[in-house]
Amino acid sequence: MTSATARAQTTEQLIHNFSSTMRKHLREHTEGTNVNAESLLTTDYLNHYSGMVMLLEQLPATPEELIIYLLSWEPVGYEEHFETSGFRDGDLARTAYRHAPENIRSAFDQVIERLHNESIRALNLVRLQAEEGNTEALTKTCETSAPVLRELIDRASAIVNQQTGAGNNTQQDIDSHFANG
Protein backbone atom coordinates (compact mmCIF):
# COMPACT_ATOMS: atom_id res chain seq x y z
CA MET A 1 0.00 0.00 0.00
CA THR A 2 1.40 3.38 -0.96
CA SER A 3 1.58 6.21 1.52
CA ALA A 4 -0.91 8.20 -0.59
CA THR A 5 -3.40 5.32 -0.44
CA ALA A 6 -2.90 4.99 3.32
CA ARG A 7 -3.45 8.75 3.78
CA ALA A 8 -6.63 8.60 1.68
CA GLN A 9 -7.94 5.69 3.73
CA THR A 10 -7.08 7.48 6.96
CA THR A 11 -8.82 10.64 5.75
CA GLU A 12 -11.91 8.66 4.74
CA GLN A 13 -11.95 6.96 8.15
CA LEU A 14 -11.62 10.32 9.92
CA ILE A 15 -14.50 11.74 7.89
CA HIS A 16 -16.64 8.68 8.61
CA ASN A 17 -15.86 8.85 12.33
CA PHE A 18 -16.59 12.58 12.48
CA SER A 19 -19.90 12.13 10.65
CA SER A 20 -20.94 9.28 12.94
CA THR A 21 -20.02 11.28 16.03
CA MET A 22 -21.86 14.35 14.76
CA ARG A 23 -25.03 12.35 13.99
CA LYS A 24 -24.89 10.78 17.46
CA HIS A 25 -24.48 14.21 19.05
CA LEU A 26 -27.38 15.69 17.05
CA ARG A 27 -29.64 12.73 17.86
CA GLU A 28 -29.03 13.39 21.55
CA HIS A 29 -30.50 16.87 21.05
CA THR A 30 -33.67 15.89 19.16
CA GLU A 31 -35.72 14.85 22.19
CA GLY A 32 -38.55 17.32 22.72
CA THR A 33 -38.17 18.76 19.21
CA ASN A 34 -39.83 18.08 15.87
CA VAL A 35 -36.55 16.79 14.42
CA ASN A 36 -36.72 13.04 13.85
CA ALA A 37 -33.87 11.34 15.72
CA GLU A 38 -33.28 8.74 12.99
CA SER A 39 -33.59 10.77 9.80
CA LEU A 40 -32.40 14.05 11.37
CA LEU A 41 -35.09 15.81 9.33
CA THR A 42 -38.37 17.47 10.28
CA THR A 43 -41.76 17.56 8.63
CA ASP A 44 -42.19 21.21 9.65
CA TYR A 45 -40.59 22.12 6.32
CA LEU A 46 -43.43 20.41 4.49
CA ASN A 47 -45.95 22.84 6.01
CA HIS A 48 -44.77 25.40 3.46
CA TYR A 49 -45.97 23.13 0.65
CA SER A 50 -49.09 21.99 2.50
CA GLY A 51 -50.21 25.61 2.80
CA MET A 52 -49.86 26.07 -0.95
CA VAL A 53 -51.81 22.88 -1.62
CA MET A 54 -54.63 24.02 0.69
CA LEU A 55 -54.88 27.25 -1.31
CA LEU A 56 -54.93 25.23 -4.52
CA GLU A 57 -57.74 23.05 -3.15
CA GLN A 58 -59.81 26.06 -2.07
CA LEU A 59 -59.15 28.21 -5.13
CA PRO A 60 -62.08 26.99 -7.29
CA ALA A 61 -64.58 28.06 -4.59
CA THR A 62 -63.23 31.61 -4.17
CA PRO A 63 -60.74 32.38 -6.94
CA GLU A 64 -60.92 36.16 -6.62
CA GLU A 65 -59.99 36.02 -2.94
CA LEU A 66 -57.26 33.37 -3.06
CA ILE A 67 -55.52 33.77 -6.41
CA ILE A 68 -53.19 36.53 -5.20
CA TYR A 69 -52.07 34.41 -2.22
CA LEU A 70 -51.55 31.33 -4.32
CA LEU A 71 -49.62 33.11 -7.04
CA SER A 72 -47.39 34.87 -4.51
CA TRP A 73 -46.29 31.52 -3.07
CA GLU A 74 -42.73 30.49 -3.85
CA PRO A 75 -40.85 27.35 -2.96
CA VAL A 76 -37.98 27.71 -0.51
CA GLY A 77 -35.16 25.37 0.31
CA TYR A 78 -35.04 23.38 3.52
CA GLU A 79 -32.39 25.46 5.22
CA GLU A 80 -33.82 28.75 3.96
CA HIS A 81 -37.21 27.79 5.40
CA PHE A 82 -35.71 27.43 8.86
CA GLU A 83 -33.78 30.69 8.58
CA THR A 84 -37.01 32.64 8.07
CA SER A 85 -39.80 30.56 9.63
CA GLY A 86 -39.29 31.35 13.29
CA PHE A 87 -39.24 27.60 13.98
CA ARG A 88 -38.08 27.16 17.59
CA ASP A 89 -35.51 24.51 16.67
CA GLY A 90 -34.45 26.07 13.37
CA ASP A 91 -30.72 25.96 14.08
CA LEU A 92 -30.94 22.30 15.05
CA ALA A 93 -33.07 21.54 11.96
CA ARG A 94 -30.52 23.17 9.61
CA THR A 95 -27.52 21.52 11.25
CA ALA A 96 -29.20 18.12 11.46
CA TYR A 97 -30.18 18.34 7.77
CA ARG A 98 -26.53 18.87 6.83
CA HIS A 99 -25.57 15.75 8.78
CA ALA A 100 -28.55 13.52 7.96
CA PRO A 101 -27.58 10.07 6.70
CA GLU A 102 -26.76 10.43 3.01
CA ASN A 103 -29.26 7.84 1.80
CA ILE A 104 -32.10 9.47 3.74
CA ARG A 105 -31.22 13.02 2.76
CA SER A 106 -30.79 12.03 -0.86
CA ALA A 107 -34.20 10.31 -1.00
CA PHE A 108 -35.80 13.30 0.74
CA ASP A 109 -34.11 15.81 -1.58
CA GLN A 110 -35.27 13.87 -4.65
CA VAL A 111 -38.89 13.97 -3.51
CA ILE A 112 -38.59 17.66 -2.61
CA GLU A 113 -37.18 18.43 -6.06
CA ARG A 114 -40.19 16.72 -7.65
CA LEU A 115 -42.51 18.55 -5.25
CA HIS A 116 -40.86 21.84 -6.14
CA ASN A 117 -41.12 21.19 -9.88
CA GLU A 118 -44.73 20.00 -9.75
CA SER A 119 -45.70 22.97 -7.56
CA ILE A 120 -44.20 25.40 -10.04
CA ARG A 121 -45.86 23.58 -12.93
CA ALA A 122 -49.27 23.77 -11.21
CA LEU A 123 -48.81 27.44 -10.36
CA ASN A 124 -47.84 28.27 -13.93
CA LEU A 125 -50.98 26.54 -15.21
CA VAL A 126 -53.14 28.32 -12.63
CA ARG A 127 -51.58 31.68 -13.58
CA LEU A 128 -52.19 31.09 -17.29
CA GLN A 129 -55.74 29.85 -16.80
CA ALA A 130 -56.59 32.73 -14.46
CA GLU A 131 -55.22 35.26 -16.95
CA GLU A 132 -57.31 33.66 -19.70
CA GLY A 133 -60.37 33.59 -17.44
CA ASN A 134 -60.73 29.87 -18.08
CA THR A 135 -62.39 28.85 -14.81
CA GLU A 136 -63.23 25.35 -16.02
CA ALA A 137 -59.58 24.57 -16.80
CA LEU A 138 -58.50 26.31 -13.60
CA THR A 139 -60.82 24.11 -11.54
CA LYS A 140 -59.59 20.98 -13.29
CA THR A 141 -55.95 21.96 -12.74
CA CYS A 142 -56.63 22.47 -9.03
CA GLU A 143 -58.52 19.18 -8.75
CA THR A 144 -55.81 17.17 -10.48
CA SER A 145 -52.75 18.96 -9.11
CA ALA A 146 -53.59 18.97 -5.41
CA PRO A 147 -53.69 15.16 -4.97
CA VAL A 148 -50.39 14.75 -6.82
CA LEU A 149 -48.74 17.36 -4.62
CA ARG A 150 -50.25 15.81 -1.48
CA GLU A 151 -48.83 12.43 -2.51
CA LEU A 152 -45.36 13.96 -2.80
CA ILE A 153 -45.74 15.67 0.59
CA ASP A 154 -46.79 12.30 2.05
CA ARG A 155 -43.74 10.63 0.52
CA ALA A 156 -41.41 13.26 1.94
CA SER A 157 -43.09 12.92 5.34
CA ALA A 158 -42.66 9.14 5.23
CA ILE A 159 -38.94 9.59 4.57
CA VAL A 160 -38.63 12.03 7.47
CA ASN A 161 -40.49 9.66 9.77
CA GLN A 162 -38.66 6.59 8.40
CA GLN A 163 -41.82 4.87 7.19
CA THR A 164 -41.96 2.50 4.26
CA GLY A 165 -44.62 2.34 1.57
CA ALA A 166 -44.69 6.06 0.84
CA GLY A 167 -46.44 5.52 -2.48
CA ASN A 168 -45.16 4.52 -5.85
CA ASN A 169 -46.38 6.95 -8.48
CA THR A 170 -43.84 7.36 -11.22
CA GLN A 171 -42.90 10.64 -12.85
CA GLN A 172 -44.97 9.46 -15.81
CA ASP A 173 -48.04 9.13 -13.53
CA ILE A 174 -47.51 12.64 -12.23
CA ASP A 175 -46.96 14.03 -15.74
CA SER A 176 -50.21 12.44 -16.90
CA HIS A 177 -52.12 14.17 -14.09
CA PHE A 178 -50.90 17.54 -15.32
CA ALA A 179 -51.28 16.75 -19.00
CA ASN A 180 -54.95 16.10 -18.39
CA GLY A 181 -55.31 19.35 -16.40
Q: What is the mean pLDDT of residues 16-36?
A: 78
Report CA dihedral (76, 82, 87, 93) to the nearest 10 degrees. 130
pLDDT band at residue 29 under the 50/70/90 scheme: confident
* Domain range summary for the chain, segments of one domain joined by +: 3-179
CA–chain centroid gap for 82, Å, is: 13
Residue type at 132 in one-letter notation: E
pLDDT tens-digit readout, 92-110: 999 999 999 999 999 999 9
Check pLDDT > 90 for residue 153: yes
Is the model more confident about 7 or about 116? Answer: 116
Mean pLDDT, the chain, as a whole number? Answer: 85
The model carries a pTM of: 0.81
pLDDT at 39: 95
Q: What is the mean pLDDT of residues 107-115?
A: 97
Distance from C-alpha of 87 to C-alpha of 155, rounded to nearest angstrom: 22
pLDDT at 174: 42
Check pLDDT > 70 for residue 164: no
Q: Which residues contact 88 (CB under 8 A, 6 or more apart)?
A: 33
